[in-house]
Structure 1
Amino acid sequence: MVEALLVVGVIASLFVGFNIGGSSTGIAWGPPVGAGIIKKTTAAGLMTVFVFLGGWTVGRNVMDTLSGQIITIELTLSAGVAILFFIGLGILAANIFGVPVPTSMTTVGAIAGLGLATGTLNYPVIAGIISWWVVTPVIGFWIGGIIGRYIYPEVNRRVQIKKSEGPLLTLDRDAAVPKPTFGPNTTWTELISTSAVLVIGCYMAFSAGASNVPNAAAPLVGGASGLPDDTAIILATIAIGVGGFTIARRTMESVGGELSDIPLLAALFVMVTASTITTVLSWFGIPISLVMSTVMTIVGIGWGRATRPVTVSDAVRRDTGDAEIVPGAITAKGMEGKAASPIGEAEPDEVLDAGDLFNPRAVIKYISMWIIGPSISTLLAYGFFRILPGVA
């Protein structure tokens, strides 16, 4: 009986990891793939390696929180399998609504539902987690706002990331020992900028592993009949990798609405900011959604860049006077390599002709799912474990 339950749990874990891979790979590697810097297969391979490193190192802290701190009793294998089922439902619901999956939040909600049903919920721990769910979007927004208002325009004037025709590097076979050399059109600037893009993509993959591997692995490590931590992490990584090589191919093309609508340079700022927030919180064992940090950093960068024609106090009070605020200022074509107008002055025509960076309705939908997803998983888990307390 235990062996059959474990097999079901492994299948459920693989399903969850597979879907995580499809979603997270697109977020981490969509911009570089869209810019032609890296191929999808290479991106999926790098994603798998660095997801494993993130899950194997920092992710263990999140696993400890999920499997041993949210509730005051040990998470049993049977309860873990049920929780994986509710995570799967959360993924399905998010896919139906067409938004990235808030997997970490859904997982916490399911475990909290178990705790509420059995009277074993660790209220101080869950309160701390939820407080970070509230604070994290604010942090992402304001860091993005500072970047968009003060940093991005200056960097955009000095740095241009372009992919030249032909391979980046070739192998010089005429030398005594074959060695890599520049491609026919490669420059030092292109090599350095491309390397930076790849490093940042790997960093985001590491962050995704730290926050998401525990969601597929932690429910299987509870109890004497569960899997060892290392085995669960490896299985979750394999599933995420398979998702990256398969269903993520489409999400890398359409990562859509947000990251692919802004220049690659701006996307890199988003990736570094969101990855750092997620990795730091994961280090402290806080289950957090990488998508949450990513979306709010995008919104913040857009807001910061758009409000350069007015002072900070006027922007906060929404008192723009005669200044024209362009929500899509950061997407303006033809501004690469050009100096932006000084803060407080009118924008050039290239910016005034830009469109919207994001659809406010889409942002509301994302935020709604961050609330609805964990709430649904909590209620479903609570009802399930109230009806079948023996499963816990």
Structure 2
Amino acid sequence: MTLTYIAAIVALFFAMNIGASGAAASISVAYGSGAIKKRKNALIICGIAIFLGAVIGGSEVAETIGSGIIPSDLLNAQVVLIILSSAAISLFIANLLGIPLSTSEITVGSIVGVGIAQQALFIDNILVIAAFWVIVPAVGFTIAFLLGKVITRVNRKYPQLKEKKAQKILTIFVIIVGFFEAFSAGMNNVANAIGPLVGANLVSMSTGILLGGICIAVGAMFLGGNVLQTNAKKITRFSLLEGVTISGTGSILVIIASIFGLPVPLTQVTSTAIMGIGVAKKGKNTVNKRVISKIVKVWVVSPVVSLVISYGLMKLFVDKDIYTVIVLLSVSAATFGILSLVKTIQQDKRSYYENGEGI
């Protein structure tokens, strides 16, 4: 029973961090385009919308997370605690760094790590989910790019859209569409926190979604500021009409995925849509490449990191296999050492060529 309570606490902590991360993806367009002037107001709107999305439409994805990746009979309080702890650690670090991160990826990665340790995975389902992690952001980029080209022509043909009256209408529309994007985030992401609990029958679906929705909303309002700032201000600048395109693209794609029970990366959909708009406007040079590179690296690494953490915790606490844990730690230390050594060598080379000096 103690493990059950601890797992529930970790799930709620994870849900708060999901809200913090989801805030960037779901309301950053309305904030970044200037439709919502104050960051505080943007986060409050985001929190309300995420809660409603979780309560109204979060059950389908929760079912997938709870029983569609590994057999639900493998789940107990200890295993659920390992899954949630692995995912929460990965997401918390990303939030501290202000990087928008896909909670779907790290949660699925954590569950897959458990499945590998237990040698029980629904491979076909995992491949479908992973495929949509690529397909949905790619579709988001394409739609935003094409609509961005259309917007450019519309702005040239109808300059009156820049008048104050038209801008007021667009501002309201951007906020409404942003609200629905945050709503879609609640639908898709609440499952990441409460799905394992539901799969293990530690909590009912209705109770889990209600508590998870509350914690996600709280996390969005109080912890989402850094990630919101990163996604809204540091990638590229966009107008109100472009903001409608970005938010509309993200919300429609994620709501459709949620209806079919697919956990998809809303953060990636929004970020790639922002990139698509930027490229359509002024070419690839309009996007801040350093920020994009940093985000993409985290996207790639995060599911692997959570997988390794959950696999290691399973071997340590369930299988009592300390030797495997030692191997994992050794590989991790060697990897960091190699990366550090490569960085040092590159710095030495730059110093050599810039200063004309050797060692």
For the 8 Å contact 1:71–1:122, the answer to whether it is kept is yes
Indicate whether 1:231 and 2:231 are aligned: no
**Distance between the aligned counterparts of 1:88 and 1:16, measured in 2?**
5
**Distance between the aligned counterparts of 1:115 and 1:371, measured in 2?**
20
Point out the more displaced range, 124-133 or 260-269: 260-269
> How far did residue 251 of structure 1 move?
4.6
Q: Output aligned runs, 1:166-245, within 5 Å.
A: 187=165, 189=166, 192-224=169-201, 226-245=202-221
Q: 1:267 aligns with which of 219, 243, 246?
A: 243
**Distance between the aligned counterparts of 2:151 and 2:299, measured in 1?**
29
For the 8 Å contact 2:95–2:227, the answer to whether it is kept is no
Q: 1:280 aligns with which of 239, 246, 256?
A: 256
Identity across the alignment (%)? 29
Give the ranges of 4+ consecutive aligned residues of structure 1 lying more than 6 Å apart after TM superposition. Answer: none
Q: 1:367 aligns with which of 296, 312, 322?
A: 296
> How far did residue 199 of structure 1 move?
1.4
**Distance between the aligned counterparts of 1:218 and 1:14, measured in 2?**
12
Point out the more displaced range, 243-252 or 127-136: 243-252
1:28 matched residue in structure 2: 26
For normalisation by structure 1, the TM-score amounts to: 0.73
**Distance between the aligned counterparts of 1:237 and 1:161, measured in 2?**
38
1:63 matched residue in structure 2: 62
For the 8 Å contact 1:31–1:259, the answer to whether it is kept is no
**Alpha-carbon displacement from aligned partner over 1:215-244 (angstroms, at most 9, x marks no partner):** 1111222334x1111111111111122223
Point out the more displaced range, 370-379 or 10-19: 10-19
1:344 matched residue in structure 2: none
1:168 matched residue in structure 2: none
User: Against the structure 1 CA distance between its residues 155 and 200, is the aligned structure 2 distance closer, same or farther, given a 3 Å change threshold?
Assistant: farther
The structure richer in helix per residue is 2
Structure 1 spans left out of the alignment, 5+ residues: 165-186, 307-325, 328-355
Q: SS state of the match for residue 212, structure 2?
A: helix
For the 8 Å contact 1:30–1:260, the answer to whether it is kept is no
User: Against the structure 1 CA distance between its residues 199 and 98, is the aligned structure 2 distance closer, same or farther, given a 3 Å change threshold?
Assistant: closer
Q: Which amino acid aligns with 1:83?
A: I
Q: Return the index of the structure with the highest Cα Rg.
A: 1
For the 8 Å contact 2:51–2:217, the answer to whether it is kept is no
User: Against the structure 1 CA distance between its residues 205 and 259, is the aligned structure 2 distance closer, same or farther, given a 3 Å change threshold?
Assistant: farther
Q: SS state of the match for residue 246, structure 1?
A: helix
User: Against the structure 1 CA distance between its residues 127 and 30, is the aligned structure 2 distance closer, same or farther, given a 3 Å change threshold?
Assistant: closer
User: Against the structure 1 CA distance between its residues 362 and 123, is the aligned structure 2 distance closer, same or farther, given a 3 Å change threshold?
Assistant: same
Q: Output aligned runs, 1:3-152, within 5 Å.
A: 4-33=2-31, 35=34, 37=36, 39-74=38-73, 75-95=75-95, 97-152=97-152
**Distance between the aligned counterparts of 1:265 and 1:62, measured in 2?**
31
**What is the count of residue pairs matched by the alignment?**
317
1:292 matched residue in structure 2: 268
For the 8 Å contact 1:48–1:237, the answer to whether it is kept is no
Structure 2 spans left out of the alignment, 5+ residues: 321-359
Q: SS state of the match for residue 261, structure 1?
A: coil
**Alpha-carbon displacement from aligned partner over 1:297-336 (angstroms, at most 9, x marks no partner):** 1222222333xxxxxxxxxxxxxxxxxxx44xxxxxxxxx
For normalisation by structure 2, the TM-score amounts to: 0.79
2:357 matched residue in structure 1: none
> How far did residue 84 of structure 1 move?
0.9
1:358 matched residue in structure 2: 287
User: Against the structure 1 CA distance between its residues 279 and 76, is the aligned structure 2 distance closer, same or farther, given a 3 Å change threshold?
Assistant: same
User: Against the structure 1 CA distance between its residues 255 and 135, is the aligned structure 2 distance closer, same or farther, given a 3 Å change threshold?
Assistant: closer
**Distance between the aligned counterparts of 1:250 and 1:235, measured in 2?**
24
